Amino acid sequence: MAKAIKKQVLGRGLSALLNDPKPDFSSESSPGPQALAGQIVSLELDLIQTNPFQPRTHFNETALKELAASIKELGVIQPITVRKTSDNGFQLVSGERRFRASKLIGLKHIPAYIRTANDQELLEMALVENIQRQDLDPIEIALSYQRLIEEINLTQEALSDRVGKERSTVTNYLRLLKLDPIIQTGIRDGYISMGHGRALISVASHEQQLAIYRKIIKDHLSVREVEALVRVLDDSSASPKRSKSKNTADYQTEQNNLKDYLSSPVRISSKPNGSGQILISFKNKDELDHVLKRIKSED
């Protein structure tokens, strides 16, 4: 008997702590967004709409069923976050997996934290919250970064601060979006890694990218093997004049490392006598200041 009671309490999860009666949000006299902000209440799942700004496009069915089994046993441990809409409904801010899993096992109510947010704030919260998760694929992360830059008007510097990542890390993800869409899909589906994708970015032709992509899958090439293959491709396409001197392909690793560290395009070239130059490009004063700051940090 004691075990049964304990299981019943555990199975209620966070709902066991919510002793207030379930509020009625169906009437016109229901509380407004400001009155509800900051509260945790038990909401009807049917009143909640999914987030239209959700960056996650794929939900693993197996993982979702495992979460549903956990919720059935222990209840919802962490409340979802919602905002109140004008039609007396609610919209998810975060927690869509918990929301889906709860519906999967037929729950009628779910603990929810209510906060106020406009569309831009909702988009930013959804993107940043999901970026922090470990199970997003590299392309989903890259698309989330791109949306934050374009729709929230963030610079790469501001974005790196907002998501707690190095600017070079943000840049590496964004560069993946330059790949052919078929290759992006291959990264999303796990056929190749982000490292493979980064090695292919320097190949300008999408046809050549796809040819190497098919070879990666067919021959199970490692990232290092792909980098070597791309260097050979660069060498074969170099002009006769450049072939007389040591060209940038010979410095590909150093060039990529420097580019990642400075978060700016870098070109290294040398002459037969061993002398050469490093060319660092920048688009504006902010990027120049960032490059100089990174260089000075090595002093």
Supply the CATH number for residue 55's domain.
Answer: 3.90.1530.10
Asked whether residue 226 falls in the same domain as residue 263, the answer is no
Asked whether residue 109 falls in the same domain as residue 196, the answer is no
Asked whether residue 112 falls in the same domain as residue 7, the answer is yes
Asked whether residue 268 falls in the same domain as residue 211, the answer is no
Q: Give the pLDDT of residue 1.
A: 36
Cut 0.75: pTM above it: no
Distance (Å, whole) CA 171 – CA 145:
9
Asked whether residue 217 falls in the same domain as residue 268, the answer is no
In the chain, the percentage of residues whose pLDDT exceeds 90 is 29
Helix (H, G, I), strand (E, B) or coil at 9: helix
Is residue 43 in some structural domain? yes
Distance (Å, whole) CA 172 – CA 123:
22
Q: Give the pLDDT of residue 150.
A: 85
In terms of pLDDT, which residue wins out, 202 or 237? 202
pLDDT, tens only, 186-208: 999 899 999 999 999 989 889 99
Asked whether residue 10 falls in the same domain as residue 109, the answer is yes
Q: Looking at the annotation, which residues are catalytic? A: 96
Asked whether residue 56 falls in the same domain as residue 101, the answer is yes
| Mean pLDDT within 64-69 | 91
Q: Which among 266, 264, 296, 268 has a CA at the least distance from the CA of 283?
A: 264
Asked whether residue 9 falls in the same domain as residue 112, the answer is yes
Asked whether residue 111 falls in the same domain as residue 83, the answer is yes
User: What tokens does 259 get?
Assistant: 């580019």
Q: Give the pLDDT of residue 130.
A: 67
Confidence check: pLDDT of 157 > 90: no
Using pLDDT thresholds of 50, 70 and 90, give the confidence band for residue 237: low
- All residues at 6 or more sequence positions from 48 whose CB lies less than 8 Å from its CB, including other chains: 80, 82, 89, 90, 91, 92, 99, 110, 112
Is residue 138 in some structural domain? no
Asked whether residue 14 falls in the same domain as residue 71, the answer is yes
Q: In what order do the strands lie in the sheet with 40-44?
A: 40-44, 109-114, 80-84, 90-94, 48-49
Is residue 147 in some structural domain? no
Asked whether residue 252 falls in the same domain as residue 286, the answer is yes
Q: Which among 275, 274, 269 has a CA at the least distance from the CA of 254?
A: 269
Is residue 162 in some structural domain? no
Asked whether residue 113 falls in the same domain as residue 16, the answer is yes
Distance (Å, whole) CA 178 – CA 194:
13
Alpha helices by DSSP H, the chain: 2-11, 33-36, 61-74, 96-104, 119-131, 138-151, 156-163, 167-175, 181-188, 194-201, 206-219, 223-237, 240-243, 252-262, 285-296
The answer to whether 292 and 271 have CB atoms below 8 angstroms apart is no
Is residue 146 in some structural domain? no
Count of domains forming the chain: 3
Is residue 285 in some structural domain? yes
Q: Which domain holds residue 196?
A: 184-237
Last residue of a domain, one of 117, 140, 158: 117
